[in-house]
Structure 1
Amino acid sequence: MIDDGPKPPPRTWSRQKSTSVFSSPWFDVRQDAATRPDGSPGRYDHVLSGGSVTVVALAEDGRVAVTRQWIYTHEETQWRLPAGRIDPADSGPRAAAARELREETGISAEGWRHLGTVNCADSFTNHRDHAFLATGLTRGTARLEPGEADLRVHLLPFEEALSLVVEGRMPHAGSAFALLMVRALGVR
């Protein structure tokens, strides 16, 4: 690409007014009156979310905690890593990751590494999933919520968990991102 010198900054969307169409403890549906990048008026409907976390709980023997449960919105049973929303009571994504890991699997971790953050469905929502690597694991008792009564925890070799992503059998974006980051960073 050839740089021909300074260019004017690109035009962006500009929010004029934002109205809540529906609100719940989990998300807020907004309808915005906006100005488009070309200067014309427009409407933008979107969902605001507090975000979520996904955890690669990696044991010393190379096994990874993987869950299998019915996912209501996709109407099927899916493989995923331990994951969940960031609650208002959580001090941040790292605290939410530790809580979700304990609740879903009963596992606590001593070591934590932020693997990155992935945007989910950008045109539809501001939702972000924060991925973490948890090490120095200690097993305990899970504290499942009523909607998670069917959740089962499996300890799979890392390569087997990664193959679920590659084969399209683990479609959860946060799980795929987290496992691929562990591989890309050379951790496993």
Structure 2
Amino acid sequence: MSGTASWSRQSSTVMFSSRWFEVRRDETTRPDGSWGTYDHVIVPGSVTVLAVDDSGRLAVTRQWIYVHDAPQWRLPTGRIEATDPDPEAAARRELREETGISADRLERLGAITCADSFTNLREHAFLATGLRQGPARLEAGEADLELHWLPFERVLAMVRGGELPHAGSSFAVLSAFALGRITP
């Protein structure tokens, strides 16, 4: 939107910081010239991997998600670490750590922003093919993670039925379908 006024940050204060995220309070000038305060969460990006085997089955995980207080279906996913050179490297690492799967090919499906008014989170989605199974390297908080191989039709029905509520997972499934990379 060229030629229009934009927000201007006057100051930014870190209100809370942990190894996972930080909460900032920014003093801003809004596009209309008024002064305001904007609280938001800063996090590293994350990745989601739609791994498809030679039979057309998808790697789907199920594990307890603490903040939702329930088990959840999702694709392999995780944060981009400072040591990852780029989102693709993070996707390869997360897929291998959570499921033990290595992929010959990774294709970028796109990125989705989540909770825009609250956080800067950008989730990068990838399609993984040419899969090889090895041992998973789960972290302590992932000890209950189960890997399931489900047909695409079932996973697409899960998206439609709200059974795959993780935004990055649903985005990856729908993007691969819309781009014609995977079909029922």
Say yes or no: TM over 0.5. yes
Confirm whether residue 12 of structure 1 aligns to residue 6 of structure 2. yes
Matches within 5 A, 1:58-77: 58-77=52-71
Partner of residue 159, structure 1: 153
Deviation at 1:141, TM superposition (A): 0.6
Q: 1:179 aligns with which of 162, 170, 173?
A: 173
Whole-angstrom distance in 2 between the partners of 1:134 and 1:79? 18
Whole-angstrom distance in 1 between the partners of 2:126 and 2:156? 16
Confirm whether residue 113 of structure 1 aligns to residue 107 of structure 2. yes
Which blocks of at least 5 consecutive residues in structure 2 are unaligned? Answer: none
Whole-angstrom distance in 1 between the partners of 2:2 and 2:82? 40
Partner of residue 129, structure 2: 135
Partner of residue 3, structure 1: none
What secondary structure sits across from 2:128 in the alignment? strand
Deviation at 1:8, TM superposition (A): 7.8
Residue 137 of structure 2 aligns with an amino acid whose one-letter code is R
Residue 48 of structure 2 aligns with an amino acid whose one-letter code is T
Q: 2:27 aligns with which of 26, 29, 33?
A: 33
Which blocks of at least 5 consecutive residues in structure 1 are unaligned? Answer: 1-6
Whole-angstrom distance in 2 between the partners of 1:174 and 1:60? 23
What secondary structure sits across from 1:59 in the alignment? coil
Residue 136 of structure 1 aligns with an amino acid whose one-letter code is G
Deviation at 1:163, TM superposition (A): 1.0
What secondary structure sits across from 1:161 in the alignment? helix
Residue 80 of structure 1 aligns with an amino acid whose one-letter code is R
Confirm whether residue 91 of structure 1 aligns to residue 81 of structure 2. no
**What is the CA deviation profile of residues 118-153 of structure 1, one whole-angstrom value per residue up to 9, with x for unaligned ones?**
001100011000000000000011110000011000
Q: TM-score, normalised by structure 2?
A: 0.97
Aligned residues: 182
Confirm whether residue 149 of structure 1 aligns to residue 143 of structure 2. yes
What secondary structure sits across from 1:103 in the alignment? helix
Whole-angstrom distance in 1 between the partners of 2:92 and 2:72? 22
